[in-house]
């Protein structure tokens, strides 16, 4: 826990000091007021003392408010630093880590858990400091009065306080559970909004609402439980003072009777006992706030421990970040992320798999059982095979989203593990099967992978991806907002935006996971032309679902059950590979029928081999 506060300890100490000074100056006010009244009685001039009293009030208030400001500001800085560290790590997490966790829960750690650090930094520290000081002062005075009675008092406080301290871990536990439930709320909402149309079409609003509300109820339950334990801790303060009072009254009375102490000492001691309520309450408050904070910290640290990728760019954990002493404006513009170095090589990249084995997790079966192929650049290579054969996995391994379990993957003859990750990815353009489009404008989507592209380059790529007409028709052209996940665009438009985005990156290797959904014939033809054009200069790998695409390929890699079973051209494979013949005759058939003008080669007729 201390790690998160260490950079701010001086500011916290300063803020706490100012707050205490401010509070102490309040104590001087009654004395000044007394002097004022005395002078009034003595008919002396009161101007000087009046000025002094006013100055004292203003100064005390000013110091106290500066102290409060310093503490609140520091608390915000602690929250900001924790958020920045988390955000900096979350977007660099390794893909398997993200697949293992719930993104909604991770988000709630950034948004909700971090806010709990605020209370620990302010209330907890001030309460501990002021409570601690007053406690010590009162104890010293009590010791001067009668050490025996002090021992009695402390004995009772320690006994009851010790019992109450058992509540502390319960507070931490309940807070952690409540925060976990908050994470579940985020996860459930993220799931619902992620498939909003499906949610509505499935009539699942009520069920999903109930699920989210159940999570909210769970958060309430644990919040209430935390409150219950907090009140147990609080009531121990009153109880221990009351019991001490009775004990002191009994034992003190006996001591008065035996002449060990005077009655006035006993009375003064009892008064001090009541003075103890405030500092002890503060200490208990500090301890329970600490529990709340430690629960949040545990969740934050858990997220911080997830494995991230090394993008070999500017480290986010700078001094500035750790202290959180900065304006927020510069975040995101400082060149971290993947928008780095130009690719090392030039021209089309070559790709080779050498006996690659891979499984997504240790407890899952192998997806690749020794995949080997060699793709020199440029040109188009189509990967075909039954669903689940491991085609998309090939792309995930080239991009190093996952590490191969065995064998080697070479790009430009160099093992991908030896490539600086950012450089490797800078050389690749990747169009996913569902062509994700992000919320924002069309321009933002295009520039997502190439933020420095010029307007001329954007225009050129729009023409290449046959998007220029679409953009012209959009109400605000490139500045048109496309909605959550590009929901305001058609499927075909989204796909072309995704291709344009990948092309704008000027890749040396284009990975294209063809959509399984049908595009209309015109769009499909347009896209095919784009890809053919690109493949003259760039190495293009396509996971192909349409015969029309396969027909254009210079090379076809047939995959089945995690292995490459054949490589060749369409004509060669139709003759030599029964599975390919079958795929060509069945799976590709519908697609080729939907775009009959697509293929002009004689072998375009559905292969009957």
- Rounded to a whole number of angstroms, the minimum distance from the CB of residue 416 to ligand ATP is 17
| CB within 8 Å of 174: residues ≥ 6 apart | 222, 223, 225, 226, 228, 229
- Rounded to a whole number of angstroms, the minimum distance from the CB of residue 328 to ligand ATP is 34
- Rounded to a whole number of angstroms, the minimum distance from the CB of residue 591 to ligand ATP is 13
Q: 68 or 585, CB closer to ligand ATP?
A: 585
Q: Hey, CA dihedral for 262, 265, 271, 276, is it positive or negative?
A: negative
Q: 466 or 555, CB closer to ligand ATP?
A: 555
Long-range contacts, 577-583 (Cβ 8 Å, 24+): 578/609, 579/385, 579/386, 580/384, 580/556, 580/607, 581/607, 581/608, 581/609, 583/384, 583/385, 583/386, 583/558
Q: 219 or 367, CB closer to ligand ATP?
A: 367
Q: 27 or 364, CB closer to ligand ATP?
A: 364
- Rounded to a whole number of angstroms, the minimum distance from the CB of residue 528 to ligand ATP is 19
Q: Give contact residues for ligand ATP (rule: CB under 6 A).
A: 99, 360, 364, 367, 385, 387-393, 543
Q: How are beta strands 428-431 and 539-543 bridged, if at all?
A: unpaired
**Largest pairwise CA distance in the chain:** 122
Q: 318 or 516, CB closer to ligand ATP?
A: 516
Identify the CA nearest to 499 among candidates 452, 546, 472, 534. 534
17-40 burial: b if 16+ Cβ within 10 Å, else e? ebbbebbebeeeeeebeebbeebe
- Rounded to a whole number of angstroms, the minimum distance from the CB of residue 4 to ligand ATP is 33
| CB within 8 Å of 242: residues ≥ 6 apart | none
- Rounded to a whole number of angstroms, the minimum distance from the CB of residue 399 to ligand ATP is 13
- Rounded to a whole number of angstroms, the minimum distance from the CB of residue 188 to ligand ATP is 21
Are 588 and 546 spatial neighbours (Cβ–Cβ below 8 Å)? yes
Q: 152 or 367, CB closer to ligand ATP?
A: 367
- Rounded to a whole number of angstroms, the minimum distance from the CB of residue 347 to ligand ATP is 28
Q: 36 or 195, CB closer to ligand ATP?
A: 195
Q: 362 or 472, CB closer to ligand ATP?
A: 362
Q: 146 or 577, CB closer to ligand ATP?
A: 577
Residue 608: φ, ψ to 5°:
-105, 0
> Is residue 334 helix, strand or coil?
coil
Question: Is the bond preceding residue 378 a cis peptide, omega within 30 degrees?
Answer: yes
Residue 420: φ, ψ to 5°:
-60, 130
- Rounded to a whole number of angstroms, the minimum distance from the CB of residue 12 to ligand ATP is 44
The HSE-up count of residue 485 (CA atoms within 13 Å, CB side) is 10
């Amino acid at each position: 826990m201390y790690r998160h506060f260490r950079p701010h300890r001086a500011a916290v100490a300063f803020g706490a000091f100012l707050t205490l000074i401010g509070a102490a100056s309040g104590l001087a006010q009654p004395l000044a007021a007394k002097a004022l009244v005395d002078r009034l009685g003595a008919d002396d001039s009161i101007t000087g003392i009046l000025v002094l009293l006013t100055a004292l009030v203003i100064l005390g208030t000013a110091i106290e408010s500066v102290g409060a400001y310093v503490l609140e500001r520091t608390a915000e800085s602690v929250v900001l630093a924790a958020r920045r560290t988390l955000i900096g790590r979350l977007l660099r997490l390794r893909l398997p880590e993200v697949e293992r966790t719930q993104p909604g829960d991770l988000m709630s750690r950034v948004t909700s858990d971090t806010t709990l650090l605020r209370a620990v930094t302010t209330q907890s520290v001030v309460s501990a400091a002021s409570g601690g000081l007053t406690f010590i002062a009162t104890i010293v005075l009590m010791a001067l009065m009668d050490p025996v009675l002090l021992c009695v008092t402390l004995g009772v406080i320690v006994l009851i306080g010790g019992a109450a301290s058992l509540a502390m871990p319960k507070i931490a536990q309940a807070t952690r559970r409540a925060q976990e439930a908050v994470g579940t709320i985020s996860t459930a909402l993220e799931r619902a909004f992620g498939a909003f149309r499906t949610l509505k079409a499935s009539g699942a609003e009520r069920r999903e609402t109930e699920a989210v509300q159940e999570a909210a109820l769970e958060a309430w339950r644990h919040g209430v439980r935390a409150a219950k334990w907090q009140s147990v801790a609080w009531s121990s303060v009153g109880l221990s003072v009351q019991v001490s009072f009775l004990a002191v009254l009994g034992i003190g009375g006996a001591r008065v009777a035996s002449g060990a102490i005077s009655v006035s000492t006993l009375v003064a001691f009892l008064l001090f006992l009541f003075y103890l309520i405030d500092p002890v309450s503060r200490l208990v408050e500090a301890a329970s706030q600490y529990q709340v904070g430690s629960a949040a910290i545990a969740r934050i640290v858990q997220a911080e421990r997830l494995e991230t990728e090394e993008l070999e760019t500017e480290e986010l954990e700078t001094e500035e970040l750790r202290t959180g002493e900065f304006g927020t404006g510069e975040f995101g513009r400082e060149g971290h992320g993947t928008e780095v170095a130009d690719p090392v090589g030039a021209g089309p990249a070559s790709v080779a798999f050498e006996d690659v084995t891979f499984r997504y997790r240790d407890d899952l079966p192998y997806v690749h059982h020794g995949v080997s192929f060699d793709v020199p650049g440029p040109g188009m290579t189509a990967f075909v095979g039954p669903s689940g054969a491991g085609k998309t996995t090939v792309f995930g391994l080239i991009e190093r989203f996952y590490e191969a379990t065995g064998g080697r993957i070479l790009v430009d003859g160099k093992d991908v593990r030896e490539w600086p990750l950012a450089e490797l990815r800078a050389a690749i353009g990747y169009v996913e099967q569902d062509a994700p489009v992000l919320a924002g404008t069309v321009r933002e989507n295009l520039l997502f992978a190439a933020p420095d592209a010029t307007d001329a380059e954007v225009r050129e790529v729009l023409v290449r991806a046959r998007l220029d007409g679409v953009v012209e028709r959009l109400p605000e052209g490139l500045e048109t907002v496309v909605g959550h996940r590009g929901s305001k665009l058609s499927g075909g438009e989204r796909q072309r935006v995704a291709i344009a985005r990948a092309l704008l990156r000027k890749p040396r290797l284009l990975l294209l996971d063809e959509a399984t959904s049908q595009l209309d014939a015109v769009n499909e033809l347009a896209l095919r032309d784009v890809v053919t054009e690109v493949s003259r200069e760039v190495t293009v790998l396509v996971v192909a679902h349409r015969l029309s695409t396969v027909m254009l390929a210079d090379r076809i890699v047939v995959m089945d059950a995690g292995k490459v079973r054949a490589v060749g051209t369409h004509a060669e494979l139709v003759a030599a590979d029964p599975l390919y013949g079958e795929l060509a005759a069945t799976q590709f058939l519908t697609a080729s029928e939907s775009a009959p003008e697509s293929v002009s080669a004689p072998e375009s007729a559905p292969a009957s081999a």
